[in-house]
Amino acid sequence: MRHALLFLLLFTPLALADDASPDETVKKTLDERRVSVRLDATPVDDALDFLRDLTSLNIAIVASATDGKKITLRATDVSARSVFDAIAASDDDFSYEVWRGFVFVSSKKQKSRVPPAADWGEKARKVVTEKRLTANFVDVSLPEVLDFLNDLTGLSFSTAQDVTDLKVNLRCRDVPVSDALDVVCRLLGLKIVKAGDVSVLKKN
């Protein structure tokens, strides 16, 4: 059961430049979106869920960064970034950055390695950069996620045998498939390599 989050007030959405990069758009939202919050021993995961829903930010979370952690916070008319900063100030292990159009939340003690650039073929690269994904994966197996992406893109995906049991937890809204896959790879410690016309996800 969620702990009580008494209120979060979202003001008028910001008008963003059409030519802004995804990371620039996220940074602008963090700095300019105003919220008021009252959190009472609220699990950090729940607090981030509310921020995600009410700011439309895509937030990716490494489980170890928030597992079992709670936040108590009173704030009125502050930037969305201030809420992230307050969480970080209350927990020395909490870290966040803007990456691939997401707010990427991780642990300072257990560094999350950025995966190498995906090894896409020319055709596949065009598809994954143009196709956009909106999805809510909650404890979904990696092969099931790849089946979904196969249907969405028409591309072929596979996994190394030792990563088939990994679970994906990711909510995203209107992001390029390429960025979503980069985030999944970073969350799970994977990389994408090309095997003919098949893209294989394996340990990084």
Q: What does the alpha-carbon distance between residue 157 and residue 201 come to, in Å, rounded to a whole number?
A: 8
Query: What's residue 176's pLDDT?
Result: 97
Give this prediction's pTM.
0.88
Q: Is 158 inside a domain boundary?
A: yes
Query: What's residue 13's pLDDT?
Result: 40
Q: Is 115 inside a domain boundary?
A: no
Q: Is 117 inside a domain boundary?
A: no
Q: What does the alpha-carbon distance between residue 169 and residue 133 come to, in Å, rounded to a whole number?
A: 15
Same domain (yes/no): 46, 140: no
Residue where a domain terminates, one of 79, 107, 135: 107
* 34 within 8 A of 77, measured Cβ to Cβ: yes
Domain assignment of residue 158, given as a range: 122-203
Q: What is the pLDDT of residues 139-175, one digit of tens each?
A: 999 999 999 999 999 999 999 999 999 999 999 999 9
Query: What's residue 101's pLDDT?
Result: 97
CATH number of domain containing 23: 3.55.50.60
What does the block give as tokens for 177?
């498939």
Query: What's residue 22's pLDDT?
Result: 92
Q: Which among 106, 87, 86 is positioned nearest to 96, based on CA atoms?
A: 106
Query: What's residue 202's pLDDT?
Result: 97
Query: What's residue 7's pLDDT?
Result: 36
Per the structure, the count of domains in the chain is 2
Query: What's residue 20's pLDDT?
Result: 75
Q: What is the pLDDT of residues 18-39, one digit of tens each?
A: 567 999 999 999 999 999 999 9
Same domain (yes/no): 71, 132: no
Q: What does the alpha-carbon distance between residue 185 and residue 146 come to, in Å, rounded to a whole number?
A: 12
* 172 within 8 A of 133, measured Cβ to Cβ: yes
Concatenated DSSP letters for 55-103? H---EEE-GGGTTT-EEEEEEEEEEHHHHHHHHHHH-TTEEEEEETTEE
Residue where a domain terminates, one of 47, 76, 107: 107
Same domain (yes/no): 79, 46: yes
173 Cβ partners below 8 Å, 6+ apart?
56, 58, 134
Q: Which residues of the chain have pLDDT under 50?
A: 1-17
Same domain (yes/no): 76, 141: no
